[in-house]
Amino acid sequence: MSEMRAIVRIRNTDLDGRLKVFHGLTKIKGISFMFSNAICNVLHLDPHGKLGELSPEKIKALEELLANPSEKIPTWMLNRRNDIETGKNLHVLSSEVRLTRDFDIKRLQKVRSRRGLRHAIDQPVRGQKTKSHFRKGRSIGVQKKKAVPGKAAKPAPTSDKGGKGKK
């Protein structure tokens, strides 16, 4: 058994070596718990073993599988099937996830599709109602009037009684 490492670096992501292999792989952006389980099954890794105890050979095999998962993992598990630009089945990880998502949104906006326009105006894209939600960025409710420069603010009248009405 090899020594325990505190940090394991896989696909430009630092992972805590104390985590279980199954749980630790899900910390890489783009790997779900199902995909992590498939990786453990394909590479015959103990899903309940620690990440820090993996040998360098196992980590290298893991890197190779993540670089080209379409050979050993079923295509329905990949997160980018039938890519628009290449037509291939891909699985994007880490920073590629954000980049491809941004490029997809920009492409939708460029072709002026409904989804692209909804993204552009920060509205819900998938048909949700907007009467009571999605009001972020706008002021809601009553706003206080701005003080006029040069005039001092009058103090509020105080009442000796505890009642609500005016005098």
CATH number of the CATH domain containing 35? 1.10.8.50
| Residue that the structure tokens 């941004």 belong to | 102
The total of structural domains in the chain comes to 1
pLDDT band, residue 15 (cuts 50/70/90): very high
In a domain, 106, yes or no: no
What pLDDT band is residue 130 in, cutting at 50, 70 and 90?
Answer: confident
For the cut 60, the answer to whether the pLDDT of residue 35 exceeds it is yes
Q: What is the distance, to the nearest Å, from the Cα of residue 19 to the centroid of all Cα atoms in its chain?
A: 21
How many CB atoms are located within 10 Å of the residue 51 CB?
Answer: 25
Q: Could you tell me if residue 147 is inside a domain? A: no
Q: Among 108, 131, 134, which Cα is nearest to 120's?
A: 108
Q: Report yes or no on 154 lying in a domain.
A: no
| pLDDT band per the 50, 70, 90 thresholds, residue 55 | very high
Is residue 121 in a domain? Answer: no
For the entire predicted model, the pTM comes to: 0.70
* Residues 127-151, mean pLDDT to the nearest whole number: 76
38: containing domain? 7-73
- Is residue 135, in this structure, part of any structural domain at all? no
Cβ count within 10 A of residue 53: 17
Do 15 and 24 form a contact (C-beta atoms < 8 A)?
yes
